[in-house]
Structure 1
């Protein structure tokens, strides 16, 4: 076995005569050997207990610490109370307006019946009438039918209640939204994370205007008129009466036709109507803080 290294060394020594001196010194010079190596390596097979303890220690060291309660939970009184008590809090609840819904549908069916009668009367007109009379009946019938369809859509897609509930298994808090697609259908419960729903507008300004309108409608006509004489007092009461009735008519028209007081909330690409005449925690400020506006 020693003949091969010697022959190989002799070969390199023979060929090294043709190499430069610097290369020969670098190749064939004796490298210094360290008596004490700079570092000592010990090869030990750790015991299973030591290996397990080291592994667990590394996992515990790499595991992030438990995060404290988020600042928005501490800052919001509703979320803080739910976090502390673990009890759901009601943010919104719609009124049970069964008579209003029945009246709406009765009026809508009346308009549908009237539109059908208009179409029938338009077909039974005499031939000697002007040409525009028949189309006028048709146009009026379709207008009435469109108004009826608009009224039919008023009580649909209603949001019945909104609650903040504690998370399941220590998870984040969520919304529990009770909805009803049609008045005769059963309620549907939607559970979603806080931050998922979107509002079309802020609720508090709408609720405040509704409160002001209700206060103006119920305000006494003779308020702050005790020091006035009889004739000016009667004149002022008459002026207030006319103004109150006109304001009440305008507001009813605004609520019925323009649907003021209804704020739409989008949940999972479906829009639901919030009636601001119902119960609102903090007059709607609580929902405005927790639900973003689209």
Structure 2
């Protein structure tokens, strides 16, 4: 009796907004697999129905992935082929899935990408910022103190920075970026990419913050925020000064902390105080 041939795990990118962005290959793959592993089965069912696809759906999200991975690998080892999709875009990019992919690869299961939309790449492609090298940071911490601490660690990064952000934190996140990176740092806010109300705004962080503060519609939806990398030595001095200031202000009055930080780092005092 011939040995059982294992199935394949297809990692399928789905639209980030416009349903027409599902590729013909993705449609064919989703029609052929034995089941579709989806982060939100309700949302994925709508996508499949739009394209006339009827396949069993299996919930796979951050809360059950570790437990479900072994069961799904066993199904593929027995000959089934599965597709992995996220709510929108390319799976594993700020979404669940890496545990299943890792388990499948370790079990000798073939893992095949079906590439397509990604909000990260879509935002980068229209930003007009340097794109030869970039750093993807996903979602920043929800709390301001932790968010600022992470931004301090990134303030000297010379590559373009790319973040995802939600509607209820976008204004606060931009404010923290302006405080840490400097309000003059150039950036782009890409909102609702490929959807009906898509907008791409560019300018300094201070300018973008003012535009969002003055227009409630620009604070709605899903966001990709792209920030120009640090320019060089001058920015590096400000980064070090702000790092020192963040520590010293816990022990000294703000004006004294700014003065000492400026003297030690060589950064202009006005770039530190209040940041």
Which structure carries more helix by proportion? 1
TM-score normalized with structure 1 length: 0.18
Which of structures 1 and 2 has the bigger CA Rg?
A: 1
